[in-house]
Copies of this chain bind each other. A is one copy, B any other.
Amino acid sequence: MNLSIIIIGDEILLGGVTDTNSGLIARKFTADGWQVRRIRTVADKAADIEAAICESLDESELVITTGGLGPTRDDITKAVLTRVFGGRIAGNAAVLANVERIFAERGLELNDLTRSQALVPDSCRVIQNRYGTAPLMWFEKEGRVLVAMPGVPFETRGMLDEVASAVYGRFGHGGFAAHREFTVCGICESALAERLAGFEDRLPANYKLAYLPNPGEIVMRLDADFSSCPSEAAHFEDYAAVLVKALGEYLVGCGKLTPAELALAKLRRHGYRMATAESCTGGNIAHLITSIAGCSDVMLGGVVSYCNDVKMRVLEVSADTLSHYGAVSEGTVRQMAEGVCRLLGADCAVATSGIAGPGGAVPGKPVGTVWIAAVTPEGSRAECCHFRGDRQSVIDRASARALTMLADML
């Protein structure tokens, strides 16, 4: 089934804010077999919002809008929705109670502007926003559904599962297809196939289980095609749950894990604790790891050594290595990784030193040259990489490569 997404807000069209809501919504629904037809980003203008809604309802069974619901702007969006779906705007006691509760919790006084968030079209069903004051609104017309969500990313993130459940209750999953990925470590493909033989034997003919081996991990992909039996789509979650059970202790995560998630999962399986020693990546690797909730059983911390003095004094890189081979060298990153393990008492570490650019290139070491090292109790590895792109690209790619290298070694 088709989904169209509408992002409402001048701030996106001005480029001041990057829209991440559409990607979040797209990932969620495409994983469950929906097809995203189009994303439309429009200004806080009634005519533009109305045009985008009508175009979207023409092409898709489901339309999700985000934004345009702030207390200063919701008049426009709500008026447009009333024009498209009928009804009139009226006070909603449940929404008012939610707004009052949130303001009481924050010790703030309610003003009229905020109280107006409790005015909603009576043609919609309200889904209470557990993360903010703007209510979510569910509209139906001629078999099509529009859900208006708030634009604040953490409110959208927080409410998405509830919206998806309501949509699946109404339409089923995407109806034609569903797929889900799982990341598995610590078992080879043939042993895994043996372990899953019983599960595969019992899979209906419209299901398919794929093995996608990568270095150090296997991504399992469960696909189902419901085009000839749409009513069976509701059972997809049951089969996914049986697969999760069958994968047992080898399952390290649902979905295809990021390099940081994969490294963290494998470290946790070994009971290892890690540290980072970063020069050119400047703290980004530590940031990627500590962005994962619950990482503190594995992550001890790290050192950003952005000058040679810190590399020598804090990480104990030898002055000889620095003067003979330079900061961007195999010896330097190996000593950085070993040094941070000693300093922080870690079992494993990654280290980076390179030239992120745009300046800093030296003969034989162009911008994008990065030495990366990883150490574990079983051994160490170092590699010289040449990344293309600008400063941000080099930082991102070097960070991902360092984490992948560590995960590969475990």
A positions within 8 Å CB-CB of B = 7, 12-20, 22-28, 30, 36-43, 48, 153-154, 157-158, 276, 278, 281-287, 289-291, 293-296, 299-307, 309-310, 313-314, 343-345, 356-359, 388-393, 395
Contacts and interface: CB of A to CB of B under 8 A. Distances in A.
A306 B290 contact: yes
A128 B309 CA distance: 43
6 contacts: A12-B23, A14-B30, A16-B23, A19-B19, A154-B390, A300-B306
Q: What copy number does this chain have within its complex? A: 2
Contact of A391 (B40, B153, B282, B291): B291
B294 A301 contact: no
A13 B39 contact: yes
Contacts of A287: 281-284, 286-287, 395
A264 B38 CA distance: 41
A153 B22 CA distance: 18
A294 B16 CA distance: 24
Nearest to A282: B290
Contacts of A41: 22, 38-41
A301 to B, nearest CB: 4
A304 B283 contact: yes
A301 B300 contact: no
A19 B39 CA distance: 11
A23 B27 contact: no
B19 A36 contact: no
A296 B307 contact: yes
Contact of A310 (B301, B305, B388, B395): B301
B309 A300 contact: yes
Contacts of A281: 287, 290
A30 to B, nearest CB: 5
- Which of A284, A301, A310: most chain B Cβ within 10 A? A301
A389 B283 contact: no
B293 A283 contact: no
Given A287-B284, A304-B276, A344-B314, A18 B15 contact: no
A391 B293 contact: yes
A16 to B, nearest CB: 7
